[in-house]
Amino acid sequence: MAGKSGFMKDAFILFAITLISGIALGGVYEVTKGPIEQATIEANNKTYRGVFPEASSFEETSDIDLEACNTELAASDFGGVGVETVMVAKDDAGSDLGYVINSYSNDSYGGKVSISVGIKDDGSITSIGFREISDTPGLGLKAKEDPFRTQYDGKSASELTVVKGGNAGDAEINAISGATITSNAVTNAVNAALYCKQNFIN
């Protein structure tokens, strides 16, 4: 009987510890959830301002059928790409200037690369910014640096392709030396944003 009583006591203590730990973790989550969400919003807004500096505010729109857009993109030649959200870029007076389209590719060397693409109403790209990339330092991570990243600025083609050799034309992007996979992934994420703008945004 003593053995059974000891077992029950140990089980009760273990249960109590588990319960208290669960409540404590839940409390920590509730306390930190707000600040984490706010930090994410601020980081995203910083990226949006970087890709569309003329805008003073950004509002997410639900008027675009992203499910249909992503279904069509899945059947495209752009690989594992998609669009997550679309932000309307507005000036100080609240007038629309264009869009920031948050797109991604799962085909980068380090896995998923997520970007924000600023696109004016006329379809030209203002700039791109990175929200997530886990590529190799000194190779794929060079995508975040200006010599590569700024190639997209001002491009107005319906689709971009990557070329090697440093002689990119109006609808082309020079590949990062030694990181063609990353170059293609970023460019196809941009192509996903362009496709969304051309086919799902009036």
Predicted confidence at residue 47, as pLDDT, reads: 94
CB within 8 Å of 16: residues ≥ 6 apart: none
Q: What value does the mean pLDDT of the chain take?
A: 91
What confidence category does residue 35 fall into, taking pLDDT thresholds of 50, 70 and 90?
low
Instruction: Give the Cα separation of 113 and 167 in Å (integer).
Output: 25
Range with the lowest mean pLDDT among 7-21, 49-63, 90-104? 7-21
Is the pLDDT assigned to residue 193 strictly greater than 70? yes
What pTM was computed for the model?
0.81
Instruction: Give the Cα separation of 80 and 114 in Å (integer).
Output: 12
Q: Map 140-151 to HEC letters.
A: HHHHHCHHHHHH
Better-predicted residue by pLDDT, 42 or 101: 101
Predicted confidence at residue 124, as pLDDT, reads: 97
* pLDDT tens, residue by residue, 57-109: 999 999 999 999 999 999 999 999 999 999 999 999 999 999 999 999 999 99
Q: How many CB atoms are closer than 10 A to CB 156? A: 13
CB within 8 Å of 62: residues ≥ 6 apart: none
Burial 45-82 (b: 16+ CB within 10 A, else e): eebbbbbbeebeebeeeeebebeebbeebeeeebbbbb
| Average pLDDT for 121-141 | 95
Instruction: Give the Cα separation of 23 and 187 in Å (integer).
Output: 46
List the chain domain ranges.
Answer: 55-198
Predicted confidence at residue 19, as pLDDT, reads: 79
Task: Identify whether the C-beta of residue 103 lies closer than 8 Å to the C-beta of residue 115.
Answer: yes
Predicted confidence at residue 42, as pLDDT, reads: 79
Q: Look up residue 28 and give its two tokens.
A: 């920590």
Predicted confidence at residue 187, as pLDDT, reads: 98
Helix (H) or strand (E) holding 102: strand 96-108
**Would you call 23 exposed, middle or buried from its count of C-beta atoms within 10 A (0-12, 13-18, 19+)?**
exposed
Is the pLDDT assigned to residue 36 strictly greater than 90? no
Better-predicted residue by pLDDT, 136 or 27: 136
Which residue stretches of 112-158 are H helix? 146-149
Instruction: Give the Cα separation of 10 and 174 in Å (integer).
Output: 66
Going by their DSSP bridges, the two strands 172-174 and 111-120 should be labelled as: unpaired
Predicted confidence at residue 2, as pLDDT, reads: 52
